[in-house]
Structure 1
Amino acid sequence: MSVAERLISYITSVRYEDLPREVVITAKRLVMNTLGATLAGSGAEGVKEVAELVKEWGGKPKSTVMLYGCKVPAHEAVLVNATMARALDFDEFHLHTGIHSGATVVPVALAASELCGGVDGKEFITALVVGAEVMCRMRLVPDSCIGVSGWTGEVYGAFGAAITAGRTLEITEKEMRNALGLALSQSSGTAQTIYDGVLGTRVQQGFSARAGLLSTVLATKGITGAQNFLEGRAGFYPVYYRGMDYDISRLVDGIGERYELLNTVTKPYPCCGFLMAPIENVINIMRHNNLSRHDISKVIVRVNQRMYNTVYAPSETKYRPQTIADAIFSLPYVLSTALLRGDMSLEDFSAEAIRDPVRLDVANKVEILVDERIERESKELNLSLSLHSVELQTKDGQCFSQKMYHAKGFPQRPMTMADLAEKARKCARFAVKPFPEGKVEELKGLVEHLEEHGNV
């Protein structure tokens, strides 16, 4: 049996009863976290414009554009909702790869459920678990991604979206293979949007989700896609990772027994996943030693190459963010904010905040270095998204340093459903329309008992 055949067999055969309890719990957290991020993202730059555009396009009112009070064709609703979920980079990511699966599969599961109707909570959970799991595993196949290849996790999004949609719509194995072949034809996502600090980063999430759902719907109408979509001469890995090392067996080894979804990280701070651990590390050192920003003369952060490439290069826009997107991916900016405020929130990513002269002055105290020992240990432990060390030097000659492996929200220290509800309440303040606290609590209750619902 080929890798593709084993993969499709797993995708189409797994049932809710096969899912370990901890996987179901993680899936519910993924849903709650994504909905919270969507609340905040609904009012973000670029989202309203995309929402207005799909409303202008019109079409059959099949699925809801969240918080905008309209229904449009399902694939267009997903374009907006996935963009919304990723807009402020407050969603989640996979610990070892950085891939954002929730912002893809949750909007797709919701839109597909509306499209066909009668989807119960157990099937909803199963559909998003399988889609997210395959997305994470596909990203584990190559040895390198964003910092080397230039491809972002969104190149896998169309596949995860097609799988989640396919499970929700109950398509056949043959249709699933065609859907994944059609997803290959639409797979895209470049890190250049991050380097340039543009809105394309958030919209790429919408592109991938839309592509996956559209692929599935096309497959149900008999449209055929590439059959050897993984390993063919022009299949996904030979084309996207030409000349680079990858191991296709990683995609299916232990599938259905060992779940990569359990390595999901939910974010306590609204910025790039690489920044979670450094922010917490600096805040902890400051608090434990009763330091203020006036005490600090220099901050030295030792990182691995992948972290350096993503949140420090090019350094000009990291020390002086030109856009909010620049700031969301800037290690100097977030650490200056942590030194100033002892926290990090959505308010810190406004046009005014990123031009605050005090904040920018403090950022000049931050020095970022690629450290060979950190690089080696990051690779050995597969912790390039978090492992680093921080050294705070004070004006009176003291030095405080700490290495960090796992931050709050990581699998080793997960955010609880109560934590995620509190995060959603904070996000609701930034929603494009009022979303009362009572509704957040109601949402929490629905998600906690999702498997009990007969019609999502």
Structure 2
Amino acid sequence: MATEQLATWATNLQFSNLTAPVIAAAVASLYNWAGCAIGGFQQTAPQFALNATAPHFGGPAAATILGLSNNSVRTDAQIAAFINGIAGHVDDYDDTHLQTIIHPAGTVASALFAVAEWKGGVNGSEFLTAFVAGVEAELKLGLSVWPQHYDVGWHDTSTTGSIGAAVAVSKLWVSTYRLCNRQLESLLHRSSVCRYTLEAIQRVSMSDGKYESFSYSDPTLTESRLFRTRASQSGMLGALLAQSGFTSSLQGLEGQFGWVHVVSTRENVTAEFDNLGKTYEILSNTFKPYACGIVMHPAIQGAIEVQSAALGKNLSISDITKVEARVNPEVLVLTGQTDPQTGLEGKFSVFHGVAIGLLFADASPQQFTDAVVTNSTVVALRKLVNITTDPTVNTDEAFVSALFKDGTDVTQHIVHVIGSLDNPLSEAQLKTKFIGQAELVLGSDRAEKAYEAFTNIGNMSDVSTLAQLFSGANDTANTSSSASSSSSSSGALGLDKDRGRDWFYL
């Protein structure tokens, strides 16, 4: 049975089973998520969610909100997972498993980190093993129902993420239980331990995540970030209920009315689970260099390289008269907004992506604010951008050209966009990305300490102490913002520190 197969594999997985590349991919996935969660906390959504929940819900302060990594600012594990999950994706800067478009780290890591802090006594190797188990569960499950599950309107990061979180937390619970109760080792039969994981999978059959519930006009409404973070909470709850003795069907995934049959017209779950431990999907996880939908990344890089080549020829970007980009057809399907008016809409606009690539040579969260999207210089250049689609152009490929007043044509061909499997971000680039996000909230010194803490997580004797390694008062000078800064939306182009309310589902 597929459900039992997954539970048994996850229970039996040991750190010694993980190869060096798998461990490296897990660490990179974790610290990439952590940087996004720290920097993303300054956005409206996570703070809105914290203010809405913390005064009314929650138990004893037991876990850290990463963007408030101060020993005096803690909350209960569920709320911490909820807020960190929102913050980790709010800038659309996190990871992507390209074959399923699942963002695997956030739902698993936010639940796992909260539980590890709450329970304590979890070492780094146990934490990484549980994280890999959860990520593999959600990605194998996602592959088994792809693409029909996604095409009919399910948000697969949310639906598979809840099961991934349940598997990871269950795995962590088993590891901690063994570590802290060695005298009971002989009483823990493998079958009963396995059942904890298996029952946890059943408990999250309530998982939701439908595109119809998305709101692109108001980021405080139900949307993919809420789905993702609710998936983390559902996974945590499922694991803890199962450990406490709640029972359910042992065929929650593959039964006649099990998960795979309810959410998709296609399922291949047994075949995918047969590869558990043989092929690791975490090795196919990628990290975003740009804070927007991943399908428009090749066009953005093409624009950045056009800018570099043009400046090398002493050409001025203000002299551009026409911009052409040839891309894969999926780009206009998902990011075809021609006249965005908000930072959110800019993340749906390849036209905006090309314009900011030409102007800024960058597409980090600061370029997806309301102020930048409505800036007169950006708008004028965006109107010169023409996008054509070509099915022979790969999803990680683009052709971008700019015509200048003197007749010069500058063209760049992106064969494999940076951040893709064939052109991944280097460790140095990932560090730059982490520091760039974290220092917005923590300041530069604490951002460096946070980077060291997360990159060395595998060597920690107790992961619950990780946040203490960079705790302290937040650098408010780096997080200040003002609504009045939106006045820069006309006139001279300039970066303001109001990063807006940026939301996107990819």
Question: What range describes the TM-score normalised by the shorter chain of this pair?
Answer: 0.7 to 0.9
Among 385, 399, 409, the alignment partner of 1:389 is 399
Q: C-alpha offsets along residues 225-266 of structure 1, whole Å, 9 cap, x if unaligned?
A: 443222222222222113xx4433452242212111111111
Checking the alignment, whether the CA contact within 8 Å between 2:299 and 2:327 is kept in structure 1 is no
When structure 1 is superposed on structure 2, of 167-176 and 191-200 the one drifting more is 191-200
Q: State the distance in 2 between where 1:191 and 1:20 align.
A: 40
Q: Report the Cα offset of residue 194 of structure 1.
A: 6.7
Q: State the distance in 1 between where 2:141 and 2:17 align.
A: 21
Q: State the distance in 2 between where 1:31 and 1:373 align.
A: 35
For the structure 1 residues 35 and 137, does the alpha-carbon distance in structure 2 shift closer, same or farther, using more than 3 Å as the test? same
Counterpart position of 2:495: none
TM-score (norm 2): 0.80
Q: State the distance in 2 between where 1:207 and 1:298 align.
A: 45
Checking the alignment, whether the CA contact within 8 Å between 1:146 and 1:191 is kept in structure 2 is no
SS of residue paired to 1:59: coil
Counterpart position of 1:381: none
**After superposition, where does 1:352-363 map in structure 2 within 5 Å?**
352-363=371-382
When structure 1 is superposed on structure 2, of 157-166 and 221-230 the one drifting more is 221-230
Checking the alignment, whether the CA contact within 8 Å between 2:45 and 2:219 is kept in structure 1 is no
Among 206, 209, 213, the alignment partner of 2:229 is 206
SS of residue paired to 2:370: coil
Q: C-alpha offsets along residues 342-397 of structure 1, whole Å, 9 cap, x if unaligned?
A: 222222122211221221222222233332323xxx4xxxxx4x244334444455
Among 248, 252, 255, the alignment partner of 1:232 is 255
Q: State the distance in 2 between where 1:203 and 1:413 align.
A: 31
For the structure 1 residues 147 and 18, does the alpha-carbon distance in structure 2 shift closer, same or farther, using more than 3 Å as the test? closer
Question: Aligned pair 1:129/2:148, yes or no?
Answer: no
Counterpart position of 1:264: 285
Checking the alignment, whether the CA contact within 8 Å between 1:101 and 1:135 is kept in structure 2 is yes
Checking the alignment, whether the CA contact within 8 Å between 2:4 and 2:251 is kept in structure 1 is no
For the structure 1 residues 303 and 136, does the alpha-carbon distance in structure 2 shift closer, same or farther, using more than 3 Å as the test? farther
Counterpart position of 1:65: 65
Q: Report the Cα offset of residue 164 of structure 1.
A: 1.3
When structure 1 is superposed on structure 2, of 8-17 and 319-328 the one drifting more is 319-328
For the structure 1 residues 198 and 320, does the alpha-carbon distance in structure 2 shift closer, same or farther, using more than 3 Å as the test? farther
The residue type equivalent to 2:18 in the other structure is: L
Counterpart position of 1:349: 368
Q: Report the Cα offset of residue 44 of structure 1.
A: 0.7
Give the greater-gyration-radius structure (CA).
2
When structure 1 is superposed on structure 2, of 213-222 and 82-91 the one drifting more is 213-222
Q: State the distance in 2 between where 1:361 and 1:261 align.
A: 41
Q: Report the Cα offset of residue 190 of structure 1.
A: 2.1
**After superposition, where does 1:57-456 map in structure 2 within 5 Å?**
57-68=57-68, 69-144=72-147, 148-152=151-155, 153-170=157-174, 172-190=193-211, 193=214, 198-199=219-220, 200-242=223-265, 245-290=266-311, 292-312=316-336, 318-374=337-393, 378=394, 384=395, 386-431=396-441, 435-456=442-463
For the structure 1 residues 319 and 192, does the alpha-carbon distance in structure 2 shift closer, same or farther, using more than 3 Å as the test? farther
Q: State the distance in 2 between where 1:321 and 1:214 align.
A: 39
Counterpart position of 1:21: 20
When structure 1 is superposed on structure 2, of 440-449 and 208-217 the one drifting more is 440-449
Question: Structure 1: 5+ residue runs without aligned partners?
Answer: 313-317, 379-383
Q: State the distance in 2 between where 1:263 and 1:5 align.
A: 25
Q: C-alpha offsets along residues 268-315 of structure 1, whole Å, 9 cap, x if unaligned?
A: 222222232221122113323435433433333333343332212xxx
Checking the alignment, whether the CA contact within 8 Å between 1:271 and 1:329 is kept in structure 2 is yes
Q: State the distance in 2 between where 1:192 and 1:281 align.
A: 34
TM-score (norm 1): 0.88
Counterpart position of 1:315: none
Q: Report the Cα offset of residue 60 of structure 1.
A: 2.4
Q: Report the Cα offset of residue 436 of structure 1.
A: 2.9
Identity of aligned residues (%): 24
The residue type equivalent to 1:136 in the other structure is: L
For the structure 1 residues 6 and 387, does the alpha-carbon distance in structure 2 shift closer, same or farther, using more than 3 Å as the test? farther
When structure 1 is superposed on structure 2, of 94-103 and 112-121 the one drifting more is 94-103
The residue type equivalent to 1:370 in the other structure is: T
SS of residue paired to 1:325: helix
For the structure 1 residues 390 and 154, does the alpha-carbon distance in structure 2 shift closer, same or farther, using more than 3 Å as the test? farther
Counterpart position of 2:41: 42
Q: C-alpha offsets along residues 8-67 of structure 1, whole Å, 9 cap, x if unaligned?
A: 221111111110101111111112111111121101121111112222124222322223
Q: C-alpha offsets along residues 114-168 of structure 1, whole Å, 9 cap, x if unaligned?
A: 1221000001111111111222222222342687322222221101111111111
For the structure 1 residues 299 and 150, does the alpha-carbon distance in structure 2 shift closer, same or farther, using more than 3 Å as the test? farther
For the structure 1 residues 220 and 422, does the alpha-carbon distance in structure 2 shift closer, same or farther, using more than 3 Å as the test? same
SS of residue paired to 1:301: strand
Q: C-alpha offsets along residues 399-454 of structure 1, whole Å, 9 cap, x if unaligned?
A: 554543432233333333332232222213432xxx13222222232333322211
Q: State the distance in 1 between where 2:413 and 2:405 align.
A: 22
Question: Structure 2: 5+ residue runs without aligned partners?
Answer: 176-192, 464-506
Count of residue correspondences: 436
Q: State the distance in 2 between where 1:268 and 1:295 align.
A: 27
Q: State the distance in 2 between where 1:191 and 1:397 align.
A: 47
Aligned alpha-carbon RMSD (Å) = 2.4
Q: State the distance in 1 between where 2:254 and 2:375 align.
A: 50
